[in-house]
Amino acid sequence: MITRTIQKEIESCFFKGKAVILLGARQVGKTTLVREIARSYKGPSLYLWGALWENFMISERWKFLSNSGRQVNRYFWRTHSQQEIDLIEESGGQLDGYEIKWREGKIRGAKAFLAGYPESRISLITQENYREFVGIQAG
């Protein structure tokens, strides 16, 4: 494998509660880099797969929105007590929050987010329902 100078920097951020999103042109080694990080990771595998799933879903969502011509403002939301929503999209005055999980679970930041933004919507994205989120047609 080609040594990538950015790999150590990504690894140092990856497990400190930071969102790491790899974006770039097709066929430049993003998937290979993520596989290498996953292969060398010695921590709890569920945490790793959750982080990779979140990264993958957000990057695929951004590609889907770009390819479909939809323009949205994108945000990440977190309280001082570490409650968070992985992705917030704002379009036409509507806020849509997305919590992305490898497995089903509750959205820990939903109550606090909805208290601050009562007209917004929140969805849980999992392996079971991601297709529409990234624009994959059923069938």
* Buried residues in 81-93 as b, exposed as e (16+ CB within 10 A): eeebbbbbbeeee
- Go through the domains of the chain in sequence order and give each one's CATH number: 7-133 (3.40.1350)
3-state secondary structure 61-80: HHHHHHHCCCCCEEEEEECC
Indicate the range of 1-15, 64-78, 124-138 predicted with least confidence.
Answer: 1-15
Which pLDDT tens digit goes with each residue over 41-60?
Answer: 666 565 667 788 888 899 99
Q: What is the pLDDT of residue 41?
A: 66
Indicate the range of 57-71, 80-94, 125-139 predicted with least confidence.
Answer: 125-139
Q: Is the sign of the CA dihedral 23, 28, 34, 37 positive or negative?
A: negative
Asked if residue 114 has pLDDT above 70, the reply is yes
- DSSP code, position 95: E
Give the Cα separation of 125 and 133 in Å (integer).
8
Give the Cα separation of 62 and 54 in Å (integer).
12
Task: Using pLDDT thresholds of 50, 70 and 90, give the confidence band for residue 122.
Answer: very high
Q: 121 phi and psi, to 5 degrees?
A: -125, 150
Residue 123 burial (CB count, 10 A): 14
Asked if residue 95 has pLDDT above 90, the reply is yes
Asked if residue 15 has pLDDT above 70, the reply is no
Q: Which residue has the higher pLDDT, 38 or 75?
A: 75
According to DSSP, the β-strands at 73-78 and 94-100 are unpaired
Q: What is the pLDDT of residue 100?
A: 93
Q: What's the chain's length in residues?
A: 139
